[in-house]
Structure 1
């Protein structure tokens, strides 16, 4: 645990969130791992505890009932929330920042109820044929009087089974641009209870209890008043969510990796072989040194990325660097931790095998490692033209 890089406010937030995670969330990890779900009564109980403790909607404006944390403070909270499973830490819901763009009746119908814990949202962007290249989405929304008729499919949508509504992106037309035809993408608030919406859970590797789903939409009628922002302005307002998601994913990875390192170090200090603890062997001790170095480097990247977001200065390249390094760091740390534990590392009696399995997807969602490298390299090449 390293608070050396934190301000006094950051240190207080980190210590408070860590205490909540260790007392209220971590004790339920084994139950959820075995059941592959969070029981409804437990979900409600933990949500109430998070609300009472002030760790619910902590990224939402204070004047609307949220925690009011800026990006700098949220980042250290996310590090501590990352110490437990996603199925548990998501109960302390941090609503999609894009909801802050709600206006008029949308505020009372969607934004405020989400902040109060009365409603839940999910983010519907990814499709079977459009993942990292989101401009390839095919879901269509056709104007019909004061409504739009939406048809399409979304996939890998987190927590759609418990959501009350979908923040959904659809194509509402095509614009001619100097670069050729470009899809006009619009963001809608779609109530899940509407006729034509169906949700199915997906069976995926890792993150048990943290459900990803597919969503089918067949002739779903949605009022034009449910557009967030302007028609065709979906990507413009999505940037806040995309950049925030990438930086905060990496923050979660710092917490997870730090916990994995602690488990491995304690094991290395007690497991004996050939007359001494395995931590005294260079093959083990150097792994711990590399873990500590990479975790601290990621922490600093996260803190800098959060500061850049809060100041409105972060670039796509910077967000990709934070995401790429953090997601790959977590893979290396959990893999080395598992190796250090040997046979116990792959035993379900220890949390390391779960952590190792859970982090694999971190190099895929929020943009694959390959996409982030493409973004970064293209920006470097533009910086140094021939």
Structure 2
């Protein structure tokens, strides 16, 4: 690491340990993040200069390159998702595609911590198959009339506006064309209601959003009409790298706890780490974690060079999420019964790991992207 990267890592690690770790059990046991606590910690994150670190400097962010951002995300990922994402936001970078007016109204207030955004793509009948989206936006005068329902929308209950992907037409092949809209959640006809109880990431809410004849002005359109699918693909690949990085953080924390336990837990007259059944688990955990970390950093380096492909990012997301699942499971096995008790963070890490192979593209979708990149050059 460079001196600057080392400083960012140390600052972020100290913030996580001092401001976020103490509130983990409160969030886990209550299943909610107190709004007052979130506001106080958010103010501290802003003061520490780590809020909106993924955003360019010219809009008020930290302007971190992709490699440094992975190192930053890894430290944040060690704690509860509800805490690190709600209190230390990394705004959706698709907002950078907005007009000057949209930047003033949406992007800049988000970077300053004055507004919060959510992203709405998934629907009850359209998950991995984004082309199956039914939410429609139809031209009406100078604006658009929106009808439809989105679900699994992360932190919508705490948001001020939604970045919405909706169908706006049909191409020559009969497939739906998509556009993206910025919609204030207090607009008439928008209703946000509770989503589903989730075993992963307690306190990090998901919601259902209904759009019942919602009329928005023409300047609500983000980018060009019919280009929403391409726009989303261009800007949102960074979220998969973010998922990979945060998974690395939790896996590292689980491994550290396991090494400490194996070195101090004595059975049959010696530390359990000396038994091959435990020691080899630690070796495999460390090796797999190192592999995932190097792959993720390599992918981030390619992003910085402008050379990263969809397959590169898919490999990082696939490997990191599956390594986290393996490390979390083995960590609990090493700790035995105590691993499943909520006095330790391991049972949370274990539960939280399960969703990582589903959201932001399932492991199967990542494998599809990778295999397609291998076969296409050969015409298959």
Alignment TM-score, normalising by the size of structure 1: 0.96
- Give me the CA root mean square deviation: 1.2
Q: Does 1:381 align with 2:378?
A: no
Give the distance between the partners of 2:359 and 2:176, measured in 1 at CA.
23
Q: Does 1:210 align with 2:204?
A: yes
Give the distance between the partners of 1:239 and 1:213, measured in 2 at CA.
23
For 1:327, the equivalent position in structure 2 comes to 321
8 A contact 1:157–1:214 mirrored in 2: yes
For 2:139, the equivalent position in structure 1 comes to 143
Deviation at 1:327, TM superposition (A): 0.5
8 A contact 1:248–1:302 mirrored in 2: no
8 A contact 1:242–1:366 mirrored in 2: no
Match of 2:251 among 229, 252, 257: 257
Deviation at 1:385, TM superposition (A): 5.5
Q: CA-to-partner distance for each residue in 1:292-351, whole Å, 9 max, x for gaps?
A: 111111111111111222232211111111110011000000000000001111112211
Deviation at 1:220, TM superposition (A): 0.6
Deviation at 1:383, TM superposition (A): 3.8
For 1:200, the equivalent position in structure 2 comes to 193
Q: Does 1:73 align with 2:68?
A: yes
Give the distance between the partners of 1:276 and 1:61, measured in 2 at CA.
53
Unaligned runs of 5+ in 2: none
For 2:79, the equivalent position in structure 1 comes to 84
Deviation at 1:132, TM superposition (A): 1.3
List structure 1 segments (4+ residues) > 3 angstroms apart after TM superposition.
383-386
For 2:266, the equivalent position in structure 1 comes to 272
8 A contact 2:94–2:236 mirrored in 1: no
Deviation at 1:10, TM superposition (A): 2.1
Match of 2:296 among 290, 293, 302: 302
For 1:30, the equivalent position in structure 2 comes to 25
Alignment TM-score, normalising by the size of structure 2: 0.97
Give the distance between the partners of 1:142 and 1:384, measured in 2 at CA.
41
Give the distance between the partners of 2:29 and 2:188, measured in 1 at CA.
34
For 2:276, the equivalent position in structure 1 comes to 282
Deviates more, 1:291-300 or 1:116-125: 291-300
Give the distance between the partners of 1:136 and 1:278, measured in 2 at CA.
52
Match of 1:54 among 49, 60, 76: 49
8 A contact 1:64–1:112 mirrored in 2: yes
Give the distance between the partners of 1:155 and 1:76, measured in 2 at CA.
31
Give the distance between the partners of 1:9 and 1:300, measured in 2 at CA.
20
Unaligned runs of 5+ in 1: 1-5
8 A contact 2:93–2:236 mirrored in 1: no
Match of 1:347 among 327, 341, 359: 341
